[in-house]
Structure 1
């Protein structure tokens, strides 16, 4: 049997967060699913925070063609309770089309002349490995920028609409994310994978809409089995989105998506001189925390109710597929363009870890931002404790078997 996602000793998290996606690697409540193992231990499943019916879901940022392809990919197997959401999204897609047309008219010249302001920095690593915490810390440096939650939510028209949503529509988002007590907000740094999905590209994140389909668009975790034409479409869409973000921010970009982990070879060729920060975490914590993440997203975002069958296997398979590609492509990247860090070290010494990243990748002068990072460590960070995860011997044995290379390469055995 796959290991059950059981988490003990909940802790208070930092107030990092965005729209219903994994933010930091600790949660404010026990991450315990209703599995046989959990019941045997007499531990109740964690209760998700309320997510208002009027709050937007990922799919509200799509245009009609992307929305239709998503519904068709799930064979229109929509649960009755999700029909109001489907109607709402369907109506919104036409509004998105009109706003996209308006953006293309008003920003035509700036979009034609757009360019990236220096090589991007990609933060990669498995979900719940600390990518979000690192992302939040790096963009505290005002010399960098990042795609925001709204830009990833509405990638087709954010240049003409982001000011309105930031100023007048913050109430649309709940104060806290569904899976924990972290803050939500339109301006929080976000994963560009959501933007690519809303732009109509295939993405493993489309599984969230139809979780009963188990494994969706898995070939896009590494792009290996994707045709040359489709791969070029994917890369050109990513570049186009990042150029629009650059028009908005006028600064170099720090980009974070766990899904990029298995794509580093393609990204390095598409963005010469790009830098990569790779972060790892003890799989004994990584696994149950990731299960919790997908379960919470399925609860809030899906178009059909989920039976959670096959979730454990999905998590096991994703890491193996991503890292097979990551390890194969890593030798192609200049040693000064990539660095490995550990979540455990980032938590223990955020200032020292950030300094190592800046110096190793030759990003810029770290002393300029070190005081701000130190202030965060001294005030906000001191009160946080990460969750402790417990697996029984059989469960740990399975992880050691399926993820043996990860354990050995990064010193977690």
Structure 2
């Protein structure tokens, strides 16, 4: 989700901060763990707490309804996961594939109100639709009522374990990133609690989407393929990769934009370039390790550069590789969407000579594998 990268003036709460969809227990846990907001972050935190308390009866009622319904229905069908590091083209691929009506998606209302998407969220949907920002925080991608979203903001509103809490509370940025990306330092009980919230969220998404196979896009899952395979042994995975040099410079911009927009504590101490340089290899190596033994019909890769040049051909290849039905029926919808975004202007980021040297040196195996001219 998103909007222009701006903050409220003075001591007003930050408009449409993601934490406004949090529950009170998660919010208070996160505040206690991270030392609370600083200065002008307090109005936003208090507004988030007020929102949580006001929604609590509706959230509890929805949880009870979902639990009663659960006893009468089968489990979730295995999702199709779109993997890849941030700024690798995951959003573009997600937007294209989501035009296939066989897939259920995560919509903006599920992200903004994960505890209340089926009840209160449905009632408020017309009002919320008018309040949606025109574009995402981090790029020029439009946000509409049916725009597919990644689920990480929603999960940060349901669990203290999310890298987004590092963006909201950057005084403990590194700890939140490591917990939120790899579960570093988390107990077995914390991991299980996260998994329960994750499955509860997807259960509600499945209800909202009519029980269709859910198409999931979240770069965090690139480091969690092993866990996803434990939950769904038959899940399918698509990995879109991009020249690591382009990924680096764009991800640096991603972090800087979100910190400026969402942080409730000072963040000037964070060396964003170092953060990106350190985490990319660990995430991508985990992805390679955890997908190495997957059969061809469960794992497919696509270079972003090739997908950008020939999207329909690449989508058809993905359907054939993964043995997904319905390509011919969905193709007109793919074509219509691609035609509608044909004039989309990507953000332009320039990589300095020093930055290129650092990437080529520290990410050498990945540059050799996915760098420009390799695919």
Measure how far apart 1:68 and its partner are: 0.9
Residue in 1 that maps onto 2:253? 292
Structure 1 Cα separation of the partners of residues 179 and 122 of structure 2: 36
Q: 1:311 aligns with which of 272, 276, 282?
A: 272
Q: 2:327 aligns with which of 366, 374, 382?
A: 366
Structure 2 Cα separation of the partners of residues 153 and 265 of structure 1: 28
Structure 1 Cα separation of the partners of residues 254 and 147 of structure 2: 18
Q: 1:162 aligns with which of 116, 121, 124?
A: 121
Structure 2 Cα separation of the partners of residues 359 and 224 of structure 1: 37
Unpaired runs of 5+ residues, structure 2, are none
Stretch of structure 1 that moved more, 258-267 or 327-336: 327-336
Structure 2 Cα separation of the partners of residues 266 and 336 of structure 1: 19
The answer to whether the 8 A contact 1:235-1:270 is kept is no
Q: Does 1:401 align with 2:361?
A: yes
Residue in 1 that maps onto 2:29? 69
Structure 2 Cα separation of the partners of residues 137 and 308 of structure 1: 38
User: Relative contact order, CA 8 A, sep 6+: which one is greater?
Assistant: 1
Please state whether the residue corresponding to 2:101 is helix, strand or coil: coil
Alignment of 1:69-218 (within 5 A): 69-76=29-36, 78-116=37-75, 118-215=77-174, 216-218=176-178
Measure how far apart 1:308 and its partner are: 5.6
Listed one character per residue, the Cα deviations across residues 52-93 of structure 1 (whole Å, up to 9, x for unaligned) are 9673211111111100111122212x2322222122111111
The answer to whether the 8 A contact 1:50-1:178 is kept is no
Listed one character per residue, the Cα deviations across residues 339-382 of structure 1 (whole Å, up to 9, x for unaligned) are 111111111111111111111111112011112212333x3243
Residue in 1 that maps onto 2:190? 230
Q: TM-score, normalised by structure 2?
A: 0.90
Residue in 1 that maps onto 2:213? 252
Please state whether the residue corresponding to 1:123 is helix, strand or coil: strand
Measure how far apart 1:171 and its partner are: 3.3
The answer to whether the 8 A contact 1:125-1:258 is kept is yes
How many equivalent residue pairs? 368
Q: Does 1:348 align with 2:309?
A: yes
Q: Does 1:59 align with 2:19?
A: yes
Structure 1 Cα separation of the partners of residues 189 and 296 of structure 2: 30
Alignment of 1:316-331 (within 5 A): 316-331=277-292
Question: Cα distance 1:393–1:180, how it changes in 2: closer, same or farther (>3 A)?
Answer: closer
Q: Does 1:270 align with 2:253?
A: no
The answer to whether the 8 A contact 1:55-1:173 is kept is no
Unpaired runs of 5+ residues, structure 1, are 1-17, 21-46
Question: Cα distance 1:57–1:155, how it changes in 2: closer, same or farther (>3 A)?
Answer: same
Please state whether the residue corresponding to 1:65 is helix, strand or coil: helix
The answer to whether the 8 A contact 2:87-2:247 is kept is yes
Please state whether the residue corresponding to 2:216 is helix, strand or coil: strand
Listed one character per residue, the Cα deviations across residues 167-219 of structure 1 (whole Å, up to 9, x for unaligned) are 12333333334444443345422212222221124111211111243312414
Structure 2 Cα separation of the partners of residues 264 and 200 of structure 1: 19
Measure how far apart 1:105 and its partner are: 3.7
Measure how far apart 1:155 and its partner are: 1.6
Please state whether the residue corresponding to 1:277 is helix, strand or coil: strand
